[in-house]
């Protein structure tokens, strides 16, 4: 794996963390400032190649959810890669008042020599962090979890 200086990576990671914490629908088009054109992205629901595909995932987030936002809680930088831990906060789009939802996860990012993200892998537990919060599926998931623990 190619290594870029830690100071350069640290600055890129700081900028990227700030970008995600202040991300808005209009900013999705700016992802090319941080991501390589051929970047690879994977999370529990998606695996895509290319900046346009990654932008589509983040654009869809604003259609599917109400007021989504990231809060970066920690950063670990080593050579040309890093881990970010984060809270993803949002509201489901439903009628009436909704409670704030939070998904806790981590991202493993790799950077190229230009300091652009070439690989972005998100890790989070979809069963605990999402499925258990859905009205019908949540009841089933909680029941299964309880049965598995006994």
HEC states along 2-42?
Answer: CCCCHHHHHHHHHHHHHHHHCCCHHHHHHHHHCEEEEEEEE
Distances (CA, A) of 110 to 32, 92, 100: 15, 31, 31
For residue range 104-124, list pLDDT tens digits in order: 999 999 999 999 999 999 998
Give residue limits of the domains in the chain: 6-124
pLDDT of residue 125: 84
Average pLDDT, the chain: 86
**CB–CB of 17/86 below 8 Å?**
no
Per CATH, is 6-124 categorized as 3.40.470.10?
no
**CB–CB of 40/53 below 8 Å?**
no
pLDDT at 135 over 90: no
For residue range 7-44, list pLDDT tens digits in order: 677 889 999 999 999 999 999 999 999 999 999 999 99
pLDDT of residue 9: 77
Q: How many C-beta neighbours within 10 Å does residue 82 have? A: 21
Between 136 and 80, name the one with better pLDDT. Answer: 80
Distances (CA, A) of 56 to 34, 61, 106: 15, 9, 20
Return the closest-CA partner of residue 35 out of 143, 112, 97, 145. Answer: 112
pTM of the model: 0.80
């Amino acid at each position: 794996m190619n290594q870029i200086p830690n100071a350069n990576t640290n600055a890129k990671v700081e900028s990227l963390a700030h970008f995600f914490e202040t991300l808005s629908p209009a900013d999705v088009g700016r992802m090319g400032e941080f991501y390589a054109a051929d970047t690879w992205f994977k999370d529990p629901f998606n695996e895509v190649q290319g900046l346009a595909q990654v932008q589509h995932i983040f654009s869809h987030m604003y259609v599917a959810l109400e007021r989504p936002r990231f809060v970066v809680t920690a950063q670990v930088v080593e050579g040309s890669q890093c881990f970010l831990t984060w809270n993803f906060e949002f509201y489901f789009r439903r009628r009436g008042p909704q409670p704030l939802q939070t998904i806790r996860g981590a991202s493993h990012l790799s950077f190229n020599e230009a300091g652009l993200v070439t690989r972005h892998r998100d890790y989070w537990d979809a069963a605990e962090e999402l499925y258990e919060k859905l009205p019908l599926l949540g009841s089933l998931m909680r029941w299964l979890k309880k049965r598995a623990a006994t």
